[in-house]
Amino acid sequence: METLSTNQAHGGVQGVYRHESRATGTPMTFSVYVPPHAEGARLPVLWYLSGLTCTHANVTDKGEYRRACAEHGVIFVAPGTSPRGEGVADDDAYDFGQGAGFYVDATQAPWAAHFAMRSYIEEELSALVAAEFPADMDRQGITGHSMGGHGALTIALRNPARFRSVSAFAPIVAPALVPWGEKALGGYLGQDRAAWARYDACALIGSGARVDELLVDIGDADQFMAEQLRPELLEAACAAAGIPLTLRRQPGYDHSYYFISTFMTDHVAWHAERLKA
């Protein structure tokens, strides 16, 4: 692991790191904020998965999470959204290819060669964080925005024993039913829709996957809500499954980091409460 930068913030350390990924076959860059803590302490971990076009830098620069993480003693991990670089397949559109990994393990050429974001997040980066940082991997939460909200929900639903808490900002809740998801899942996984279900939060819930509860924020001025996000489908799926869902439609907020940064403190505190020893 190569350290690209470290900066002190709120008594802790914000670092940016790079390593050679076995899962993607490319260099991958991620950020980790470690709050102030006693020597030898192991701290809970909150994962944040970013949305379309983003890198680790979007939330690191604009997420406004460090004060809350320092207050609650929570490590904050922000991975990238896809493999990048020369020799990595790409697409001219913003919603497919580099920057748009959708947290899946691709099975279709040419994407299968590098686009293994599910394995990267669930296995490889998790092991690296456990080895290199004072992380208590028995106390993990996960959140994310838009495509990253989709990633957070599906990863938690597939790994309920690993994540004690899960939330999302404006997530894509049913990618198999919306244009962003149909394009991405079809391109990365092929046209067999049965293979898409493991990457669709509403489908996972419908097939029996469960988490203890969910917190979701979305702006009622979000320009993507009606066509791409479809929060009402998550409401219906959680109601049918008996999963407690707190879905907050925030008046006047859009899809941007102005929205995310406004409610980030709420989400960090919510996760911290559930990640207490």
Q: What are the catalytic residues?
A: 146, 222, 255
Q: How many CA atoms lie within 13 A of 111 on its CB side?
A: 26
In the chain, alpha helices (H): 56-62, 66-72, 117-119, 126-132, 147-158, 179-189, 201-206, 231-241, 257-274
| Gap between the Cα atoms of 110 and 97, Å rounded | 10
Distance set, CA 71 to CA 9, 11, 35, 180, 269 (Å) = 12, 10, 8, 37, 9
What are residue 4's phi and psi, to 5 degrees? -90, -35
110 CB-near residues (< 8 Å, 6+ apart): 89
The residues facing 145 across adjacent strands are 169
What's the first-to-final CA gap in the chain, in angstroms?
Answer: 29
Secondary structure (DSSP) of 160-188:
TTTEEEEEEES----GGGSHHHHHHHHHH
Q: Which of 75, 275, 24, 48 is nearest to 162 (CA)?
A: 275
Pairing of strands 163-169, 2-9: unpaired
Token reading at 41: 């302490």
Pairing of strands 163-169, 135-144: parallel
CA 45 to chain centre: 13
